[in-house]
Amino acid sequence: MRLPERVLEPVERISEILFGLIMALTITGAVSVTTADRLQIRTMLIAALGCNLAWGIIDAGMYLMARLGERGRMALVARTLRETTDHETARRMIANELPPPLDSILQQPQLELIREKIDQLPHAGPGLSGRDWLGALGVFALVVLSTFPVVIPFLFIENARWALRTSNALAVAMLFLCGFFFARYAGLRPWTTGLLMVIIGAALVGIAIALGG
């Protein structure tokens, strides 16, 4: 049984969650809990959600642009290969397009087989597929949804100081989990990478706040 292909790769999903989380933390971290009243907290919640909604749309658009660029590049390479009469030149072009270490592993027979398969493919121009649009929707959803664990404590906890502490605790847990699962995917040390992700995330939020972001 063939498993369904992933719309977004694990690293892409983790990256979008981190992006949305840091954006939300930048806004909540700039609020002074000693002087903030309910109106200021409400304004902060709207700002955090609005910011991530906007960046979710922007990030989804950038995702579609990247996919369109990839498909356009592949279509251009395929057209050039079909127009190349020298098979040796075509094989070198294929090898140049392959990522390492495949470019050095595949031999001439394999490269020739790839050339023949490309030559048999139907002519198609660059475009976006349904999976691309679904991936963009996933990017948008991850950026926006990562806002909620950070802002929800302010909705249900009256004491602003405790709400901020709860929000920060949830943010730290999410940063750690992002690092942990990234490490498992990349073959790194999960606990060490999780802790490093917390430190790096806190540093990025601090820099963004200091620079007025």
**Residue 20 phi/psi, 5° resolution?**
-65, -40
For 48-105, what is each residue's pLDDT tens digit? Answer: 889 899 999 999 999 999 999 988 888 888 888 888 888 888 888 888 888 887 777 8
> Is there a contact between 11 and 182 (Cβ–Cβ < 8 Å)?
yes
d(CA 88, CA 39): 70
* DSSP code, position 3: P
> Is there a contact between 185 and 195 (Cβ–Cβ < 8 Å)?
no
Q: Is pLDDT at 176 greater than 50 in this prediction?
A: yes
The Cα angle at residue 170 between residues 143 and 63, in degrees rounded to 5: 15
Q: Is pLDDT at 5 greater than 70 in this prediction?
A: no
Rounded to two decimals, the pTM is 0.82
pLDDT cut 70: percent of the chain above it: 91
d(CA 5, CA 166): 37
For 153-163, what is each residue's pLDDT tens digit? Answer: 888 888 877 88
3-state SS assignment for residue 36: coil
Greatest CA separation for the chain = 74
pLDDT of 167: 87
Q: Is pLDDT at 3 greater than 60 in this prediction?
A: no
